[in-house]
Structure formats: C-alpha cells, structure tokens
C-alpha cells in the first residue's frame, strides 16, 4: 500500500503524572508526541488524588498539541483515536459531567480497614483482583462509610477512560478492559457484579455502559474535529488499562511471552484465552477481545532505586540515574557479599498481598558500601520478579520462553543483565518509551482494517519495535538462585514483626501537616 494512503492514529495515555499523546503510523513509528502534567494531591497520609477535570484537560491539550505538529496532509490521514489510562483510578460526577469530589487514585492506601473487612479469596476469585490498595472497590467502600453523600449524589462513577470518552463523545461509556480494573466485575462474565457493587455502595445505573476493547465507542464530537483541524468523522476506539496496553505495545500476545515493565512499579503479565484463578496473581479483562491478563506486580520497582539515589546517593544528581554508582555496583559479585534486601518499601503485592509488609536489609558488615546496598536493592527487586514469574508459570501451566521488557529501568545495563541472569530467560528490549500509548495506538490501528483484518494481536506483531535480545549466563543464574533462596525466606520470618510495627505506627502517627486539597 502507498505510504501516503496509509492511516495514522492518535493515542493518549493518561497516567498518574501526565497525559501523553502520540501519532503513530502503520509500522509502529511514533511521528509526534506531546505531554501535559497532572498535579498529584496528597490531602492526608496515604491519600492520593487528582482533580479529574485535569484528566480531560490534559488529554484535550496534548491531542491539540500533537496534531498541531502535523502537516495538513497528515492531519487528513488521522483515522481513529485510542485511549489508555491509569488503572483503578476513578471519580464521581454529576449529570453535567462535573466532578463531585477529587478522583481517588490506584496508589491511594486509605482503605486498609475496608480491605481487611471485605477482602477474601472469594472476592479475588469473583473479580480477579486480590485484596490490596489498587482496586477501587475498597476505596468506594471507604466512601460509603466515610462520605456516603458523595456516592448518593453521583450520577456516574467512572474510570479515567470513561470520563475522557464522555468528553469526546458525550456518552458515558468505557471499555470492558478499563472498567474492569475498578474491581466491580464478575470477571468471567465481563460485566458488573451485584455482589461487588453492594460492597462498594454503588448502583448499576451509576456505572458506565460497556464496549468490547478495540470496538468503536462513538464518534469524536464535531466541536473537537473542527477545533483540532481534523477531517471527520473520527471514531474513538475502546482501549485498555495502561498495563494491558503495554503488553500489546510489546507484542506479548501469546501465553508463552511475558511483558515486564521496570517502571515505578514492576509489573509482569501474560495473555490467556481462559480465566484461571490463583491467589498469587491478579486478573484483568485483556485489551484483546476474549482474552484475560494474568499479572504480578511489585510497587517498589524503579521507585526504590530512585529512592536510594535520592536519599543516599550523590545529592547533586537529585535522584537521577548515576552512571558511577552503576559502575561501582557492577564490580560487586552477585549476592553482594552476604547483603540481602527485602524490597517492600511500598508493602508487598504479589505473591503475598500484605499491605502491612515493610522493607528490610539483612547482612550488613563494616565492609559493605553504598554500592553494595544499591546492587542489593536491584537484585532484590529482580529476585521478586523471578519468584513471581515462577508462580505465574505454575498457575497458568505455560512455560515462558522470553520476556519483553520496558520502562525506565531498562536504561540500566546492569539491571537489564541482572533480569536475564536471575530469571534465566532471554530478554528483548522494547524500543518505544511510550509503550502503553503504543498499545492503544495498535488497538486503534487494528480497527481501521489496514492489515487486512481487525485482529489486535496481529496488528501488535506488525507494529511492535524491538532492540537487542540478551541471553542469560546460566552459570550466573545458578549463583543467583542460591541468593534468591535466602531472600525468599525473609518475609515469612518477618511477617509478624511487620504487624507489630504497623500497630506501633498507628499508635504514634506522624504529626506532619496535611497538604492543601485541590480546588474543583
């Protein structure tokens, strides 16, 4: 097909810190990008919120900016818009689409009591979501018990994707692969569960109507077609949460290939054509129709490496990557000469799902240096990846043949090599930085039929772009396995200590003043 005739698509990724927009062609090449930041509000300890108006404003402005960078001829080639977003975050709105309160985010940890009260293996099996901070169901239950008037007044309670779609089309719609992340689905039925909505204190009519991922949700309002200088009509394509979209962007679309995002959190997942329950991993409706995602997650990912550099690294670098520190850590042998870290700075998710867990560093000697601790942190995060991938393979019954890795952590040569040696799997690096947005772009491109079908998995294999593949050193893998066995024993030994530390922290809370609330 003549390149001039091929479509272009726009994709947006509305994340915790910003909304990004990209323009992508049929080869997966990103032609233009734009980005607008979203302020994070922390009105109290463990509270994390957005003014949800910014979900739309940053989407609108990023799309307008990225389109303004295109030639008039390329603007005419825009054929669809795809959307991905921060999973589990939500907000209540009135009938006119005005937020009733700030949106509550996936990382918000205010609902510990509700997790303890309602969380169970049954709820995990029904919804696919283990008890923990991310699913909105527990934070909705918190609102039911602490702000009942908020839920009573709400005309709609929707995820980020649903609010953006309302602004684009005028319809309260969301993708099955987006609304599911709230934790209110009977995941086998791909629809809302009466039992789960009762726990959350919401009604079905308050929820967005559902569209299968990859399907047309509606057409872009004439107002935006005109304002953005597009040639309408432009369909809006049902997307997926950012983690699932990243897997599509990495072409991890078969059960034997996992995606691994070394981001602020570390997330790994695989596709499956059937639903399977396992207490270790969480499940989502996939961005490929008919599929599910089995996913393991660690919130202390690249965040923890950044915390170390910020708190204990070179102060002049303000937490940014430190090439010298990496070089020093490379000279230290695997196992850090007897220093082992439990990387639960942000509690533990897979495989234990313990919101009270804390970090620990064991084995300090006077001969250990900052570089030892830094390497031990990277090793610990990667040991957790290995453990979780082992559980994932056992739970799914499918052996992994390779990993597709992405995220800021991939910039560290030390960490990349550590991942392949510890897991014992070949690691292929994804080239696109905005990998979740690329996944949404692939869904949008598939909808055009440009590849001869509308198969999202097929489109993914045409559009994903890769760098080098790193093969494991199996001798190093054996050595790492010995250290990993010791690291794996730490949590069971410290679990009760963590509970006692939590009680102590509740008894003597911080007196740090609260930050101001956002104005709506």
β pairing state of 90-93 and 156-159: antiparallel
Nearest Cα residue to 288 out of 330, 351, 245, 256: 245
For residue 177, what are the CA distances in angstroms to 180, 241, 483?
6, 6, 38
Helix 474-488, helix 370-396: angle, nearest 10: 90
DSSP 8-class letter at 215? S
Q: Which residues pair with 22 in a beta bridge?
A: 11, 33
Instruction: Give residue for tokens 């250990």.
Output: 368
DSSP string over 51-80: -THHHHHHHHHHHHHHHHTS-HHHHHTEEE
Cα–Cα distance list, 311 to 155, 304, 306, 317, 511 (Å): 44, 10, 8, 11, 21
Enter the tokens of residue 303.
Answer: 């965040």
pLDDT at 512: 60
Dist CA 82 CA 55 (whole Å) = 15
Residue 12: CATH number of its domain: 3.30.420.40
Closest by CA position to 260, among listed 79, 403, 77: 403
Residue 274 lies in a domain: no
pLDDT in the model for residue 408: 86
Say how many Å lie between the first and final Cα of the chain, rounded: 49
Q: Is 91 helix (H, G, I), strand (E, B) or coil?
A: strand
* Cα–Cα distance for residue pair 141/496, rounded to 1 Å: 27
Residue 156 domain-assigned (yes or no): yes
For 218, other C-beta atoms within 10 Å of its C-beta total 17
User: How many residues belong to the chain?
Assistant: 520
H or E segment to which residue 355 belongs: none
User: Using an 8 Å Cβ cutoff, are 405 and 445 in contact?
Assistant: no
The answer to whether residue 307 sits within a structural domain is no
Q: Which domain holds residue 98?
A: 3-243
* pLDDT score of 2: 40
Asked if the structure places residue 431 within a domain, the reply is no
In a domain, 417, yes or no: no
Residue 31 sits at φ, ψ, to 5 deg, of -85, -40
349 is a domain residue: no
DSSP symbols for 264-330? SSEEEEEEESS----SSSEEEE-SSTT-EEEEEEESSSHHHHHHHHHHHS-GGGTT---HHHHHHHH
In a domain, 329, yes or no: no
pLDDT of residue 20: 98
What was the pLDDT predicted at 395? 84
- Look up residue 428 and give its two tokens: 């292929």
The tens-digit pLDDT sequence of the chain (520 residues) is 344 579 999 999 999 999 999 999 999 999 999 999 999 999 998 899 999 999 999 999 999 999 999 999 999 999 999 999 999 999 999 999 999 999 999 989 999 999 999 999 999 999 999 988 899 999 999 999 999 999 999 999 999 999 999 999 999 999 999 999 999 999 999 999 999 999 999 999 999 999 999 999 999 999 999 999 998 799 999 999 999 999 999 999 999 999 999 988 899 999 999 999 999 999 999 999 999 999 999 988 888 998 999 899 888 888 888 889 999 999 999 999 999 999 999 889 899 988 889 999 999 999 999 999 999 999 999 999 999 999 999 888 899 999 999 988 898 999 999 999 999 999 999 999 999 999 999 999 999 999 999 999 999 999 999 999 999 999 999 999 999 999 999 999 999 999 999 999 988 887 665 444 444 4
At 265 the pLDDT is 86
> What domain count does the chain have?
1
Residue 447 lies in a domain: no
Cβ proximity of 248 and 442 under 8 Å:
yes
* Orientation angle between helical segments 413-423 and 474-488, nearest 10 degrees: 80
Give 147's DSSP letter: -
Rounded Cα–Cα distance for residues 250 and 282 (Å): 20
Q: Contact at 8 Å (CB) between 275 and 283?
A: yes
């Amino acid at each position: 097909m003549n390149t001039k005739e091929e479509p272009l698509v726009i994709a947006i990724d509305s994340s915790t810190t910003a909304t990004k927009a990209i323009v992508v062609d049929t080869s997966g090449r990103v032609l233009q990008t734009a980005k607008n930041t979203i302020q994070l509000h922390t009105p109290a300890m463990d509270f994390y919120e957005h003014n949800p108006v910014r979900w739309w404003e940053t989407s609108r402005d990023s799309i307008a900016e990225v389109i303004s960078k295109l030639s008039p001829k390329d603007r005419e080639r825009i054929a669809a818009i795809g959307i991905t977003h921060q999973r589990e975050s939500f907000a209540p709105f009135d009938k006119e689409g005005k937020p009733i309160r700030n949106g509550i985010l996936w990382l918000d940890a205010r609902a510990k009591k509700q997790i303890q009260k309602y969380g169970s293996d049954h709820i995990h099996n029904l919804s696919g979501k283990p008890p923990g901070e991310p699913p909105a169901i527990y934070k909705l239950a918190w609102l039911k018990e602490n702000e009942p008037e908020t839920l009573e007044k709400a005309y709609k309670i929707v995820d980020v994707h649903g609010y953006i779609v309302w602004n684009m089309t005028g319809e309260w719609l969301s993708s099955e692969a987006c609304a599911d992340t709230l934790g209110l689905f009977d995941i086998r039925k791909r629809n809302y569960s009466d039992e789960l909505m009762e726990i959350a204190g919401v009604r079905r009519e308050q929820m967005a109507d559902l569209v299968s991922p990859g399907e047309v949700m509606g057409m872009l309002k004439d107002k935006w077609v005109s304002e953005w200088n597009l040639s309408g009509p432009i369909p809006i394509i049902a997307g997926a949460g950012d983690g699932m979209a990243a897997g599509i962007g990495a072409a991890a679309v078969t059960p034997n290939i996992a995606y691994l995002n070394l981001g602020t959190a570390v997330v790994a997942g695989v596709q499956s054509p059937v639903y399977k329950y396992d207490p270790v991993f969480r499940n989502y409706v996939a961005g490929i129709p008919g599929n599910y995602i089995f996913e393991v997650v660690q919130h202390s990912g690249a965040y923890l490496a950044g915390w170390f550099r910020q708190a204990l690294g070179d102060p002049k670098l303000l937490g940014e990557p430190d090439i010298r520190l990496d070089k020093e850590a490379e000279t230290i042998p695997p196992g850090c000469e007897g220093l082992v870290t439990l990387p639960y700075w942000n509690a533990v998710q897979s495989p234990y799902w313990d919101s009270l867990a804390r970090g620990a560093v064991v084995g300090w000697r006077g001969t250990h240096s900052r570089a030892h601790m830094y390497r031990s942190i990277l090793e610990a995060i990667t040991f957790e990846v290995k453990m979780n991938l082992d559980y994932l393979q056992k739970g799914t019954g499918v052996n992994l043949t390779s990993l597709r890795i992405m995220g800021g952590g991939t910039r560290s040569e030390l960490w990349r090599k550590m991942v392949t040696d510890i897991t014992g799997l070949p690691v292929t690096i994804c080239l696109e930085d905005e990998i979740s947005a690329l996944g949404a772009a692939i869904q949008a491109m598939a909808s055009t039929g440009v590849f001869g079908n509308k198969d999202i998995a097929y489109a993914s294999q045409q559009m994903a772009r890769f760098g080098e593949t790193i093969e494991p050193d199996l001798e190093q893998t054996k050595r790492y396995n010995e250290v990993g066995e010791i690291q794996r024993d730490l949590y069971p030994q410290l679990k009760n200590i963590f509970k006692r530390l939590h009680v102590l922290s509740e008894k003597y809370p911080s007196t740090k003043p609260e930050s101001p609330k956002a104005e709506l």
